[in-house]
Amino acid sequence: MSFHTVENLDAAPLDRDAMAKLVAQDIPANSFVNLGIGQPTKVSDFLSSDSGVILHTENGMLGMGPQAVGDAIDLDLINAGKIPVTELPGTSYFHHADSFAMMRGGHLDVCVMGAFQVSAKGDLANWSTGGDDAIPAVGGAMDLAVGAKDVYTMMTLFAKDGSSKLVPECTYPLTGLGCVSRIYTDVATFILENGAVYVRETFSVSLEELRSRVPVELLTYP
């Protein structure tokens, strides 16, 4: 895929739905995809029915359908976020070791995860803030980080204190090394290639402003 860097100065920052829609548009047709808990789950709302995308949920299902409502709720049929979901034609079930073998074995094309920080080298931190009072809980994040062929992350670009979450080196505990290939944020999207960070598109901010607030060298496509 070839890109051109686009500055959308007049655009509003992306809300969660708009980010999810953008991610959904970028997922290649007919790929096997795992959507992480939380914000990435929304991506499925924007996958068109003819995309051929097959969703994997790590608790043991391929071909996951939409969230279950009403009488369709079955407590034996949940996703990794423990939300009741539905089957689609062609669904399959498998145990946990098979589910993660599928992941670790490189069979998933894309996974989408939230992030606390991403480094310029594609290191991901998304499982612990490292605080003294934090109870460590990692779930499948580390397995997804090393297993999926492409790791897309979704986050706001700036923390509440204004600091950039795209950083030279992660300060939070790492989930995986050099695994992230794309970063979707509210004000810009980035492509990580060969150790470099390219701005693909901005929303509401200029490249100049991004460069002044993000402490990482930001390259552009012609």
Q: Which is nearer to other proteins, 68 or 166 (CB)?
A: 68
Given 9, 16, 52, 94, the residue binding other proteins (CB under 8 A): 94
Active site residue 209: no
Bridge partners for 61 per DSSP: 57, 93
> Of the listed pieces 3-11, 167-175, 194-202, 210-218, which binds other proteins according to CB under 8 A?
167-175
Phi-psi region of 195 (alpha: psi -120 to 50; beta: other; left: phi over 0): left
Residue window 107-146: x/- pattern of binding to other proteins, with contact defined by CB under 8 A: ---------------------x----x-xxxxxxxxx-xx
Give 137: exposed, middle or buried? Use CB within 10 Å, 0-12, 13-18, 19+.
Answer: exposed
> Of the listed pieces 16-24, 27-35, 175-183, 199-207, which binds other proteins according to CB under 8 A?
175-183
Report the sign of the C-alpha dihedral through residues 37, 39, 43, 44, in that order: positive
d(C-alpha 64, C-alpha 96), whole Å: 16
Bridge partners for 192 per DSSP: 197
Given 117, 153, 175, 189, the residue binding other proteins (CB under 8 A): 175
The counts of H helices and E strands in the chain are 4, 14
Given 100, 158, 204, 213, the residue binding other proteins (CB under 8 A): 100
| Positions marked catalytic | 58
Enumerate binding residues for other proteins (CB under 8 A).
57-61, 73-79, 82, 87, 93-97, 99-101, 103-104, 128, 133, 135-143, 145-147, 173-177
